[in-house]
Structure 1
Amino acid sequence: MAKILIVGNGGRENAVKRALSAHEIAQTTSSNMQEILQTARDFSADLTIVGSEDLLVAGIEDLFSQAGMKLFGPGRAASRLEGSKAYAKDFMKKYGVKTARYQTFSDYETAIAGLVDFNLPVVVKASGLAAGKGVIICETADEARDAIAEIMVEGRFGKAGEQVILEEYLVGKEASILSLANEKGIFPLVSAKDHKKIGEGETGPNTGGMGTFAPNPFYTDERQAQFERDILAPTLKGIQAEGLKFAGCIFFGLMLTDNGTYLLEYNMRFGDPETQVVLPLLDSDLYSLLTACMQRTLTQEDIKIRNQKAICLVLASGGYPGDYQKGKEITGLDGVDYLEAGVRHENGKSYTNGGRVLNLLAQADTLEAARNIVYKNAEIVDFAGKTYRKDIGSDAI
């Protein structure tokens, strides 16, 4: 039995904790790297797993490595593939990774002038970390100008908006590919589909994710071949050429279009809420896979996938992803399969403590059966202001 420290307590981290439940787990919500290192030492952790992109970008893996402790995740250099969208897009261009046409801007006036080079709709992105919310799809030139002003002038995302990317808008189906990766190889897990917008039919502002299901039926064998040729292989080539030595998770956010499969973004950690549906479908021991990845002995054959469907439905606080209230009592959890995402406990009761509150989960032989379970449970579980999408997985049935 291994001793594992998990940093964070959102839905993703609790999904990882569940998948590693055969081992001894400790959890910390500290965001102080030295404190986390000390906790790992005090616990004699065999392995530490970090959910937060902020900590990875800040170099927590480098700190652990220097201290002779094992952490599953990229070092500071490799984390830039998530921490800077400008760096990531330049990396994609340099190594021939198939991605949307883009331009990067460091000042407001030039970005506004650059709009003439793009058809509408256009995608406006804050280059830095913005908790999954720094991407704005603009239907009109006025919307695009407002988005650029919001990011660069009003500072909605703080330092994350010091650079802005304008990007060609791609039409198609999205796919999320979580993979275990090191500089020797990239080994995909089962495909998933995320639902990023707050409203049904992918309407309204972006969130951290309102639900997922796996496997993704739109990610066919043909799409997989395109991904491996146009995205995975050149990414690995770039990682090797740039000397990015690490063992961690690379999340590929894909767009499946009529003109092929494109990479939207890299995340350098387990995705949320994709992890909540990908890990339950693993038929291999997760700790063994992570260990093999770190030892550079992992092969694709080691990754076994169950022949089932999994779904995750996010119950969120009213007002999310904008302003929302906390402290609403949660009822109806008995007999429901769920992971906590933003919950606190007091005197034996549970209360909302975040924008995304609960992840309702189900696995079944068909997506329809799994979907019926989570939506039935969504009516049973209750708290004031409860909000959720009614169409997770509907386009795949």
Structure 2
Amino acid sequence: MKKGKRVLVVGSGGREHALAWALARSAEVEAVYVAPGNGGTSWPPSPEASDLHPRAPARSVPLRSDDIQALIDFVREQGIDLTVVGPEAPLARGIVDAFRAAGLRIFGPSRAAARIETSKAFAKALMRSCGIPTPDYAVFHDFEKARAYLRARPGPVVVKASGLAGGKGAFVCESSEEAEEALYRLMRERIFGEAGDTVVVEERLYGSELSLLAFSDGRTARPLLPARDHKRLLDGDRGPNTGGMGAYAPVPEVGPDAVDRVVREIMEPVLQALACQGTPFVGVLYAGLMWTERGPFVLEFNARFGDPEAQAILPLLETDLLAALEACVEGRLGDVELRWRPGACVTVVLAAPGYPGPVPEGLPIAGLEEAAAQEGVLIFHAGTRREGDRVLTAGGRVLAVSAIGGNLPEAAARAYAAVERIHFEGMHYRRDIGRSSPAIR
């Protein structure tokens, strides 16, 4: 007989490990399953959760995140009470619609509502209709027309694949030559497949980037702590865009007034517009912002928890995560107030050699236990797998090392002290996560 609730987390990255960890800390949870999971998403039960350790057991399940029918069958067989979708790809495939049609509870937006992420062209048009500040832009389906547009407007621009590209589909271009090269790679070489068949060309803005995520039940928005993601591969925000090389939360210079402004001027109008279209957004709405001299502008929306933002935000959440997610699904988020532990959390991503391009797999990882034993440290696995007693690399972003401290410098110091204890061949990471923080006004 079940003693508590069973939860399924769909996905295999560091975000999904963090979600499983946070859910397993709930007193209401009996067990957590992660499909397909990774080398870190299975652990035994614990009599009770300590400050940073889960109480309920977790187990990886060998089911692909895009095998929706197999996931539905598993949920029915195991009596799963709530499914939580981590990555964007299953949302784009309509996993939420399929689960709801089967009478199963699931946290995440419908396929139609998820277009806020899966089609940048749709998101830009929605923002324009709502009067939400976003960089000026043009949408193209034809390479020659897009190239002519670039040649008529030389200078810095951002060229983006409209579809899903794993966080790597945006090219920040200093010149028209760079922009044409990005356009060619997207539309002619099709490096991201059909995701680049439609391209958005937008003006380049200058300021401080910021991620603000909010829970939504379709009507109400409850903001999470503001976070800052580091997309570029190299220190000082240089090099190519990646899926994210690290993050920290909260952002010290972003106070309650700034958060309230984003919720009021950006989050709530978008939620209202989606609801008016008959596609209410239930899940996590993620606004990627550029804070300029004119205030916040939306660079992109995502329809799920950020990665690696989740690994920096969730360790600071004191409110029971399961309770918050259920309130969204049940349309009563207005009754929930989110509570946060004081201090800060810094997350450093350890990447495999060659990332964000092709990477080798099967490299042994050393030092995980020693790193995890450091005060305030959590190790979230991403691209890993287990082979007997060994943990091996199995992807580009291998691990996310998170650390909580009383303030941002202390959290960063703890994170990097833990990073120094971990090793695998060719491991690389940024050394400036949480160590520089531009002002936001």
TM-score, with length taken from structure 2: 0.88
Tell me the equivalent position of 2:241.
Answer: 206
SS of equivalent residue, structure 2 residue 32: strand
2:208 aligned to which of 147, 166, 173: 173
Tell me the equivalent position of 2:52.
Answer: none
Tell me the equivalent position of 2:217.
Answer: 182
Q: Name the CA distance, whole Å, in 1 between partners of 2:155 and 2:75.
A: 49
1:5 is aligned to 2:40: no
On the 8 A contact 2:108/2:304 being kept in 1, the answer is yes
2:126 aligned to which of 91, 94, 98: 91
Displacement over 6 Å in runs of 4+: none
1:5 alignment partner AA: L
On the 8 A contact 1:95/1:237 being kept in 2, the answer is no
1:390 is aligned to 2:425: no
On the 8 A contact 2:154/2:176 being kept in 1, the answer is no
2:67 aligned to which of 21, 29, 32: 32
C-alpha change, 1:58 and 1:301, in structure 2 (3 Å) is closer
1:348-378 Cα shifts (integer Å, max 9, x gaps): 0111111000111100101111111111111
1:244 aligned to which of 279, 284, 287: 279
2:103 aligned to which of 59, 64, 68: 68
2:32 alignment partner AA: I
- Post-superposition shift, 1:299? 2.6
C-alpha change, 1:133 and 1:102, in structure 2 (3 Å) is same
TM-score, with length taken from structure 1: 0.97
- Post-superposition shift, 1:294? 1.3
Tell me the equivalent position of 1:229.
Answer: 264
Tell me the equivalent position of 1:338.
Answer: 379
User: Any stretches of 5+ residues in structure 2 without a counterpart?
Assistant: 37-63, 373-377
- Post-superposition shift, 1:340? 0.5
1:27 alignment partner AA: V
On the 8 A contact 2:271/2:281 being kept in 1, the answer is no
User: Any stretches of 5+ residues in structure 1 without a counterpart?
Assistant: none
1:254 is aligned to 2:295: no
- Post-superposition shift, 1:301? 5.3
- Post-superposition shift, 1:117? 5.7
- Post-superposition shift, 1:233? 2.7
Q: Name the CA distance, whole Å, in 1 between partners of 2:336 and 2:388.
A: 47
SS of equivalent residue, structure 2 residue 280: coil
On the 8 A contact 1:103/1:167 being kept in 2, the answer is yes
- Post-superposition shift, 1:274? 0.4
1:62-90 Cα shifts (integer Å, max 9, x gaps): 00000000110011110111110001100
Q: Name the CA distance, whole Å, in 2 between partners of 1:110 and 1:38.
A: 47
On the 8 A contact 2:158/2:201 being kept in 1, the answer is yes
1:26 alignment partner AA: Y
Tell me the equivalent position of 1:371.
Answer: 412
2:365 alignment partner AA: I
Tell me the equivalent position of 2:393.
Answer: 352
Q: Name the CA distance, whole Å, in 2 between partners of 1:243 and 1:115.
A: 36
SS of equivalent residue, structure 2 residue 112: helix
1:295-344 Cα shifts (integer Å, max 9, x gaps): 11113752111111001100000110012111111001113230111111
1:64 alignment partner AA: F
On the 8 A contact 1:173/1:218 being kept in 2, the answer is no
C-alpha change, 1:394 and 1:64, in structure 2 (3 Å) is same
SS of equivalent residue, structure 2 residue 221: strand
Q: Name the CA distance, whole Å, in 1 between partners of 2:337 and 2:171.
A: 39
1:132-211 to 2 correspondences below 5 Å:
132-211=167-246
Question: Aligned residues: percent identity?
Answer: 41
SS of equivalent residue, structure 1 residue 383: coil
- Post-superposition shift, 1:228? 2.7
How many equivalent residue pairs? 397
Aligned CA RMSD, in angstroms, stands at 1.4
Q: Name the CA distance, whole Å, in 2 between partners of 1:168 and 1:246.
A: 28
- Post-superposition shift, 1:2? 1.2
Q: Name the CA distance, whole Å, in 2 between partners of 1:277 and 1:224.
A: 17
On the 8 A contact 1:175/1:219 being kept in 2, the answer is no
Q: Name the CA distance, whole Å, in 2 between partners of 1:361 and 1:328.
A: 22
